[in-house]
Amino acid sequence: MAEATYTIRLDGLEVWMGLGIHEVELAGPQRVLVSVAMTCAYPAVPEDRIEAVVDYDPIREGVREIAAGGHVMLQEILCERIATLCLADPRVVAVTVRSVKPDIYPDAQIGCEVVRTRD
């Protein structure tokens, strides 16, 4: 059977973390929303068991650990760290990571998105 690809999504994970360069952002944690889309390739349609696929539970926990790991100045760096976490599983062939700071401006959300593929 041919290779099977799936997109595994973790959308809108809310974390509180130090993120940003402005004085108010340096003063304490803020709400950040993280979304991840991983393109996963399997040799065939997987069996109906979690061990056969990429489990999003460790990704969720890894994002929470990154958020708890200390202040990050730039959203680009946050997204890169999460992309690296996702690509640690060789079945992940591409990942899109988006971070959003929804509370900085009263009329807009600000964010960053990176797309990384396995070389």
How confident is the model at residue 4, as a pLDDT?
92
Model confidence at 1: pLDDT above 80: no
At 17 the three-state DSSP class reads strand
Give me the number of domains the chain comprises.
Answer: 1
Model confidence at 2: pLDDT above 90: no
Segments forming the whole domain that contains residue 60: 4-34+42-117
How confident is the model at residue 119, as a pLDDT?
77
HSE, CB side, 13 Å, CA atoms: give it for residue 35. Answer: 13
Q: What is the mean pLDDT of residues 54-79?
A: 97
How confident is the model at residue 46, as a pLDDT?
87
**33-43: per-residue pLDDT in tens?**
999 999 999 99
State the pTM of this model: 0.94
Model confidence at 94: pLDDT above 70: yes
The CATH number of the domain holding residue 98 is 3.30.1130.10
